[in-house]
Amino acid sequence: MAKYACPCCSGFAHTSGEIPNPTEWLLVSAVEHDKLPELITSDALYRMSTMLYKCVSCSAIAIFWSDLGAEPTWYAPIKGK
């Protein structure tokens, strides 16, 4: 199972495993969304999406802005809000 260590805690984000992955989100920009055809396959939508994964411990998120072969950018949750 592929996973990335969370820099915010001792947790991690899974990028493989259970399907559907409960800690994976697919992001599509508003600009790209407006370019979509009225009908699109789920495979095509998946391929064009930016991948976001949530840390299983602290809910920090890892976004793969390039692709899954590159390191993700991590975003930490704001504590106390």
Residue with the larger pLDDT of the pair 21 and 80: 21
User: Between these two residues, 2 and 33, which has the higher pLDDT value?
Assistant: 33
Q: What is the pTM of this model?
A: 0.83
**pLDDT on residue 16:** 84
User: Residue 81 pLDDT > 60, yes or no?
Assistant: no
Span 5-62, pLDDT tens digits: 999 998 989 888 888 889 999 999 999 999 999 999 999 998 889 999 999 999 999 9
What's residue 65's pLDDT? 94
Helix, strand, coil % in the chain, rounded to nearest 5: 15, 25, 55
* Residue 77 to residue 42: CA distance in whole angstroms: 30
- Evaluated on CA atoms 69, 16, 40, 63, the torsion sign reads negative
Cβ partners under 8 Å of residue 71, min gap 6: 4
